[in-house]
Structure 1
Amino acid sequence: MPRILFAAGDSRWPTYEAPLKAALAEKGIEAEIALEMAPETVDYIIYAPGSPLQDFTPFTNCKAVMNIWAGVEAIVGNPTLTQPLTRMVDHGLKQGMLEWVVGQVMRHHLGLDIHITTQDGVWRHDTTVPPLAEDRPVTMLGLGELGMAAGEALARIGFPVTGWSRSPKESDLITTLHGAEGLKQALSTAQIVVLLVPFTPQTENLLNAETLALLPEGAVILNPGRGPLIDDSALLAALDSGQVSHATLDVFRTEPLPEDHAYWAHPKVTVSPHIASETRASTAAQVLAENIRRGEAGEPFRFQVDRSRGY
């Protein structure tokens, strides 16, 4: 009987307990799950950033640490973590991100803010008609599970989508580019840019003064990925100059975003409090149970993190 330590935060346990037990039962797995266990008896650890558990050394028989977030930057560099590490990619997380990205792209594509923020009794029928989706190039920075799903959804609506990743990817619906030259090409036509690359030392400040200057004037930035992907000072300068017309930001270097941060008061910035997509216990439990089944059967884990790449 596998023994599972739930170290994703005591407050999450009431939400996860029932769906996790049900998902394990569906897989035919009898397991013991608890918030506390003797480390040497633990077979699997369910984990979330911010957990009090930071020293994995005592967990000598642990087969895998399973992160319930898609991002693993807060744990992947832990020197005591020698066990296999998996990240969360589930239907709920993917669908939630797809919906947020499509919604925000459509908001800026159609110019909806004009009508939402100017309800003053004036009938404005002379506003600029937006182009059709087919004439609004979108660039998706990051073609992992989330980025590919969102990019292909936009392509199905009719947007010409270019996707960029550090290594080559393939898609029947979007143009895919990679590497340094690919990044320049991807940005050069982007009227809307969406950031969904993982945060690593190589992707920090991916959007900086140099790369923002590659964009067509008036481009829109959407960041539901990670805060450090953007050089904040460079983005503020680009907003002030008009190089970037608006930035909708869901993630930040410091969270919660400090109340005196320039983003709060900037007229061309929309701040949302890291809500683009949340891990949902009902769907995450299915992924966790499947990986535990795989571990017990000696099969490869799904979504195992490549430590050398950081994701």
Structure 2
Amino acid sequence: MINALFAARPERWDTYEPTLRAAFEAEGLAVDLRQDFAPEEVDYIIYAPNSDLQDFRPYTRCKAVLNLWAGVEKITTNETLTQPLCRMVDPGLTQSMIEWVTGHVLRYHLDIDRSLALQNSWSPYIPPLAEERPITILGLGALGQACATALTQLGFPVSGWSRTAKSVAGVTCHHGPEGLNAALAEAQIVILLLPDTPHTQNILNSQSLARLPKGARIINPGRGPLIDDEALLAALETGQIAHATLDVFRIEPLPEDHPYWAHPKVTVTPHIAAETRPITASRVIAENIRLGEAGEDFVHLVDRNRGY
């Protein structure tokens, strides 16, 4: 029998317990799934970083910590965590991110806000075709690549940037510090899908925002610290940036007195771009437990040195 500890907020148990059990059964795994075990009895920890479990030292038998969230920045710095850590790459989450990003890209591309504002007047606006609207995605991990591919299928010319070299069919890929300028130079819409690491914080700052074409739009469903908030507000005031749609923030919920709430050129959404879906996420968890029991490599293993 495999002992799996569910270490997330108690209210999540009723949601995940049936889907996890179904996924374990589908993989042919005999798993004792509980919310409480003696630490020395635990083989795997199914984990959410906002749970009460923050000290991993007693879990001496634990083979892996399997994160329920895509983001791991809240756990990678935990010095008590010595077990392998796997991040969540959930097909359901990926699909929801594709849909959210595509929706907001099309809102900008078609200038839907203008159409709504002028719906009682006959003032036609003919948008350019997608092929005339260059888009750049900062971050070419699983989510970035999926969104890039979806947008290329709609006809947008898509460039991508990552810290290390990547290759994505139909996407012009840049990497490293020297590639960032090229990725931003012609981008009318910039989408941020980078992890939060010391290397990516404030990647959109006064200098990088100035490299964009005047009137560019920003979409951030990635991580709040990717943007220097003061620099973005200043760029919005000058018109260098025409509008920003922000789903993530340095402090969440976004404080009531934050200038983003009332800014006419900012759309705030409450961290809804992509949510882990219990059914598909449970299958990812079950797959990793199967791999661990077979002595095979875990999927989506976190590189602690890179932070993701």
Pairwise same-fold verdict (TM > 0.5): yes
Take 1:118 and 1:289, find their aligned partners in 2: how far apart are those partners?
52
Residue in structure 1 matching 2:122, options 121, 124, 130: 124
| SS at structure 1 position matched to 2:253 | coil
| SS at structure 2 position matched to 1:213 | helix
Aligned-residue offset at 1:126: 3.3
Amino acid at match of 1:296: E
Deviations 1:101-139 (CA, angstroms, capped at 9, x unpaired) = 1111001000001223455xx323333x21100000000
- Sequence identity (%): 62
- 1:142 alignment partner in structure 2: 139
| SS at structure 1 position matched to 2:200 | coil
Residue in structure 2 matching 1:290, options 284, 287, 290: 287
- 1:26 alignment partner in structure 2: 26
What TM-score, normalized by structure 1, do the two folds share? 0.98
Amino acid at match of 2:58: P
Take 1:85 and 1:189, find their aligned partners in 2: how far apart are those partners?
38
Amino acid at match of 1:249: L
| SS at structure 2 position matched to 1:104 | helix
Take 2:297 and 2:66, find their aligned partners in 1: how far apart are those partners?
13
What TM-score, normalized by structure 2, do the two folds share? 0.99
| SS at structure 2 position matched to 1:148 | helix
- 1:76 alignment partner in structure 2: 76
Amino acid at match of 2:269: S
1:1-311 to 2 correspondences below 5 Å: 1-119=1-119, 122-127=120-125, 129-311=126-308
Amino acid at match of 1:275: I
Take 1:217 and 1:143, find their aligned partners in 2: how far apart are those partners?
24
Take 2:12 and 2:90, find their aligned partners in 1: how far apart are those partners?
17
> What's the Cα RMSD here?
0.8
Take 1:115 and 1:192, find their aligned partners in 2: how far apart are those partners?
19
Take 2:121 and 2:227, find their aligned partners in 1: how far apart are those partners?
38
Deviations 1:189-211 (CA, angstroms, capped at 9, x unpaired) = 10000000100011000000000
Deviations 1:126-155 (CA, angstroms, capped at 9, x unpaired) = 33x211000000000000000000011000
Instruction: Could you tell me which runs of 5 or more consecutive residues in structure 1 were left unpaired when the two chains were aligned.
Output: none
Amino acid at match of 1:135: E
Aligned-residue offset at 1:37: 0.5
How many residues align structurally? Answer: 308
Amino acid at match of 1:126: P
Amino acid at match of 1:234: A
Take 2:64 and 2:73, find their aligned partners in 1: how far apart are those partners?
17
| SS at structure 1 position matched to 2:219 | strand
Deviations 1:220-242 (CA, angstroms, capped at 9, x unpaired) = 00000000000000000000000
Deviations 1:12-62 (CA, angstroms, capped at 9, x unpaired) = 110001110000001100110100100000000011121100000000010
Take 2:116 and 2:45, find their aligned partners in 1: how far apart are those partners?
46
Take 1:124 and 1:149, find their aligned partners in 2: how far apart are those partners?
38
Instruction: Could you tell me which runs of 5 or more consecutive residues in structure 2 were left unpaired when the two chains were aligned.
Output: none
Take 1:79 and 1:252, find their aligned partners in 2: how far apart are those partners?
25
